[in-house]
């Protein structure tokens, strides 16, 4: 039976979208991966661009609210920011919960190139975390 994984962040615009993309990629057909936010801010165009640089297309992703997934019995819930961990509603499931507080690239400042460098740095952190998560929990 395929495992169900939820990645949760504040606005479901950057970190959770990047994590969803990498978890889908590394898990292949071993899991169904969702992402959501305690709010919805839309998918950040820079998140889309930085993932495209790594040949992963998340342009079709949508920004979803956690309430949309209340009826899904997740196996794993990964919070990718402290705010989401603190504000995460209790989900009606026996999901194993994981947490990693990635920096928020949407708060990056500077020139466009400096901002994209921060997106790339966070992308690489999430990529490594996602690869290791799949190896440990979905293989």
81 catalytic? Reply is: yes
> What CA–CA distance (Å, rounded) separates 9 from 37?
5
> What CA–CA distance (Å, rounded) separates 42 from 64?
8
From 9, 18, 38, 80, the catalytic residue: 9
14 catalytic? Reply is: no
- Decide: 134 and 30 in contact? Cβ < 8 Å: yes
From 3, 39, 54, 88, the catalytic residue: 88
88 catalytic? Reply is: yes
Q: Residues near 1 by Cβ (< 8 Å), separated by ≥ 6? A: none
> What CA–CA distance (Å, rounded) separates 87 from 114?
30
Question: In 3-state terms, what secondary structure has residue 37?
Answer: strand
Other C-beta atoms closer than 10 Å to the C-beta of 13 total 25
Structure-block tokens of residue 10 = 């504040």
From 47, 81, 84, 126, the catalytic residue: 81
Structure-block tokens of residue 11 = 């606005």
Q: Catalytic residue positions?
A: 9, 81, 88
């Amino acid at each position: 039976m395929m495992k169900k994984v939820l990645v949760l962040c504040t606005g479901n615009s950057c970190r959770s979208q990047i994590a969803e993309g990498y978890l889908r990629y590394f898990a292949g057909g071993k899991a169904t991966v969702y992402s959501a936010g305690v709010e919805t801010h839309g998918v950040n165009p820079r998140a889309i661009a930085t993932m495209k640089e790594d040949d992963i297309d998340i342009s079709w992703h949508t920004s979803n609210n956690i309430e949309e997934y209340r009826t899904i019995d997740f196996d794993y819930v990964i919070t990718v920011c402290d705010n989401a961990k603190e504000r995460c509603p209790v989900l009606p499931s026996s999901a194993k919960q994981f947490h990693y507080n990635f920096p928020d690239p949407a708060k990056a400042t500077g020139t466009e190139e400096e901002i994209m460098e921060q997106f790339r740095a966070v992308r690489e952190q999430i990529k490594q975390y996602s690869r290791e998560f799949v190896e440990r929990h979905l293989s």
